[in-house]
Amino acid sequence: MKRREFIGLIGGTAAWPVVARAQPAGRMRRIAILMDLPENDASRQRVAAFVQGLVDQGWREGRDVQMDIRWGANSPENIRKAVAELLALEPDIILTSASGATAAMRQASATIPIVFVLVTDPVGAGFVDSLARPGGNLTGFTLFEYSIAGKWLELLKEIAPTIRRVAVLRDVGVAAGSGQFGAIQAAASSLGVELQPLGLRDADEIDRGILAFAPGPNDGLLVTASPLASVHREKIISVAARHRLPSVFAYRHFVAAGGLVAYGPDLLSPMPRAASYVSRILKGEKAADLPVQAPTKYDLVINLRTAKALGLSVTSTLLARADEVIE
């Protein structure tokens, strides 16, 4: 989605469809939106999906709600600044994306309802008391369960059966990183794979880590889920291709950019569901009473061009399981 189209969707109410469940006339509600990543096509699409979800719930910008959006650009400093700006606008409710933005907003406000998306472990992060009964002023939608990380290694072994060593690229600054790595470790012993964890702080560290790993013909790469991995995805994919490393990722956009395989949730799907929660809270329900929900579907995406470049033959069984094949 181009910037002009996005602005048209956010601000151009005349283009929005008339909805039967229009909200009753009254005070304009203010929704603050804090996205963790830079403003780009992917992040704008997520916000647009949220806005369309509000439309489907009967809310319309300029008539019922006003939305203020900030982009954290995966920078703690930017996120802190965005939090201060949004809270100064005195929103009725806040939408946050990912753990970093959610943690910053939670620390700044214990009263304004917050609906989060794309958070891996909201209980472990202290955002909610439990998934069924969140408790405080936060609720929302998780990214995935840690067990999915073990399936990434299984997929890597399935598409490249000769693999014996696997570099695991992870952001040690992400609290959920240890849970993902633990699930990968649990799967490694039964698959006969040796793991080598590598840090992910900047682009140079990606190069240094892979070189130190000294990749050979029976090696592979796993990239755990984190905002930083998404920011550096082109670099990661380039390094993997240069060293001929079969690689598995958490999200489709890695495979669309040239990665080999991805298995994970659709990052757009929680946005309309989050809009439903925002609507319910604006109508009087409490965040504390709305259970945190998990993804309803995970997608397997395979890039056959990349497989061919690596000399890998993808089995018909694996292709039949794929939700999308890029040829």
Fold of 148-265+299-326: Rossmann fold (3.40.50)
pLDDT at 105: 97
% of the chain exceeding 90 in pLDDT: 74
Phi, psi of 303 (to 5 degrees): -100, 105
Distances (CA, A) of 188 to 160, 172, 194, 298: 14, 20, 7, 22
CATH code that applies to domain 3-144+267-296: 3.40.50.2300
Give dist(CA 22, CA 29) in Å, integer.
Answer: 14
Instruction: Give the pLDDT confidence of 45-69 residue by residue, as tens digits.
Output: 999 999 999 999 999 999 999 999 9
What is the residue-wise DSSP string for 19-48? Answer: -TTPPPS-SPEEEEEEESS-SSHHHHHHHH
Give dist(CA 276, CA 3) in Å, integer.
Answer: 25
307 sits in the region (left: phi over 0; alpha: psi -120 to 50; else beta) called alpha
The domain limits of the chain are 3-144+267-296, 148-265+299-326
Evaluate if residue 96 carries a pLDDT over 60: yes
Q: Answer whether 114's CB lies under 8 Å from 135's CB.
A: no
pLDDT at 27: 85
Give dist(CA 55, CA 3) in Å, integer.
Answer: 20
pLDDT at 18: 37
- Of residues 124 and 157, more confidence is placed in 157
pLDDT at 228: 84
The span from the first CA to the last CA of the chain, in angstroms, equals 23
3-state SS, residue 115: strand
Confidence of residue 161 (pLDDT cuts 50, 70, 90): very high
Distances (CA, A) of 70 to 8, 43, 158: 17, 11, 41
- Give the helix/strand (H/E) hosting 167: strand 165-170
Q: Answer whether 180's CB lies under 8 Å from 146's CB.
A: yes
Nearest CA to 106 out of 127, 85, 92 is that of 127
Evaluate if residue 97 carries a pLDDT over 80: yes
Q: Note whether 3-144+267-296 and 148-265+299-326 share their fold.
A: yes
Amino acid, res. 147:
S
Task: Say what the pTM is.
Answer: 0.84
Instruction: Give the pLDDT confidence of 263-307 residue by residue, as tens digits.
Output: 999 999 999 999 999 999 999 999 999 999 999 889 999 999 999
